[in-house]
Amino acid sequence: MGDKILKIASISIVLVFFVLLFFYLLGFYSVSFSINKQLIFFPTETQTPQPTSTFTLTPTLTKRPTNTLTPTLAPTKTITPTKTTRPTKTTDPEGKWFTYMGKSSFDDSTSVDLELKANTGVSGWPNNSYTPRLHVRCLEGKKEVYIDVGMSFDVEYGLYGRATVRIRFDSNEAFELIGTQSTDGEALFFDYPNNLIDKMLVSEKMTFGFTPFNSSPVSTTFDLFGLAEAIKPLNSACK
């Protein structure tokens, strides 16, 4: 009887042990399952570290204030130049005459040269063109009249160093004159200059013609107006 009771007690103790072990294991499994479930289905929130705000000082360029005041310039005085117009040849008391004054190196006397340019140019051989100049001159107390033609005169039989020209004053009858050529052969000096000057003083136009070397005769005209005024210093030098 006692052995039977002891056996039953041992079996009960073993059963209790297994029951306790069962509940212990069941509890351990439940706790583990709960923890795993939280880990699987409810993951913990991972906090992402927020970047640390770095305070950077950016230098601010301060622009110097510019002078917005527009300088006021003092008004400049506008000077309108007065146009000076030389009187036309029709109103100039000396006309188209040009006066050149000098001094003789031989007797220190005053020399006066009046020059008048022809209205048109002339042409001669070979392809030579020139506008003749009429000169009335006082040199060392002596009056001279000559014409610079800028080219050689034609050769005339029996007139070595001389040439024949034609002259006409206004509408009067033309006449021929024989003059002496200059050393370069391009100007002609006339005899009796005073007679020619007297005719010029009472005339308005002089027509002049000559024959260039190896060429046909040519002619041009001179406006004599103003000689009466222009010749005054010449007359003072050649009394």
Global pTM value:
0.62
Whether the bond between 126 and the residue before it is cis, its omega within 30 degrees of 0, is yes
148: which 2 tokens?
């610079």
Give φ, ψ of 199 to 5 degrees: -70, -35
- CA-to-CA distance for 193 and 199, rounded, in angstroms? 10
Report CA-CA distances (Å) from 138 to 21, 115, 191.
166, 12, 14
Report CA-CA distances (Å) from 127 to 118, 149, 151, 214.
19, 14, 11, 11
Give φ, ψ of 5 to 5 degrees: -65, -40
**pLDDT of the chain, 239 residues: tens digit per residue:** 666 676 777 777 777 777 777 767 766 555 454 544 444 444 444 444 444 444 444 444 444 544 444 444 444 444 444 444 444 444 588 899 999 999 999 999 999 999 999 999 999 999 999 999 999 999 999 999 999 999 999 999 999 999 999 999 999 999 999 999 999 999 999 999 999 999 999 999 999 999 999 999 999 999 999 999 999 999 999 98
Q: Which segments of the chain are extended strands (E)?
A: 98-103, 110-117, 122-124, 128-130, 133-139, 142-148, 162-169, 175-181, 187-190, 205-210, 218-223
DSSP letter assigned to residue 62: -
Quote the pLDDT of residue 1: 61
